[in-house]
Structure 1
């Protein structure tokens, strides 16, 4: 279990840092609110997943597949993570 969390952390640290930074930067002209941040994050996390892992680092999918994480699972987890964070920011 801990190994799977570490592997997912390796995957998502490359996505979360730019997604959070770009969401914060996009929030500045929109007027910073948690709702705006959640909407920006909902947009940017899947976009960065596509840019980083589909265009730039395609070969890293095989690394995660060796640990049992398919490409489809990673995409579904990315979308659900972005939706969960969007819902969470609306509740705050």
Structure 2
């Protein structure tokens, strides 16, 4: 279990920092609110997943596949994290 969390942390560390920064930037440009930030994060997280792992680092999927994470499962987790953050921000 700890190994799985560490592997996912390696994957999402490359996504979370730019997604958070660009989400904050977009949220401030469109009138900052927590709900607006959640929506921007929902859009930016999959966008950075695509840019970083589909275009730039295609071969890193093999590393994650060796630990049992398919490309589809990583996309599903990415979308789920975005939706959860969006829902939590709407409730706040």
TM bucket normalised to smaller: over 0.9
Give how far 1:32 is off.
1.1
Match of 2:49 in 1: 49
How large is the Cα RMSD of the aligned pairs? 0.4
Length-normalised TM-score, structure 2: 0.98
**Alignment partners' CA distance in 2, 1:29 and 1:47:** 18
5+ residue gaps, structure 1, are none
Q: What does the per-residue CA deviation read over 1:49-71, in whole Å, with 9 as the maximum and x for residues that have no partner?
A: 00000000000000000000000
Count of matched residue pairs: 92
1:21 is displaced (CA, Å) by 0.2
Offset at 1:8? Answer: 0.1
Partner residue, 2:27: 27
- Runs of 4+ in structure 1 off by over 6 angstroms are none
Q: With structure 1 as the length reference, what TM-score do the two structures score? A: 0.98
Match of 2:71 in 1: 71
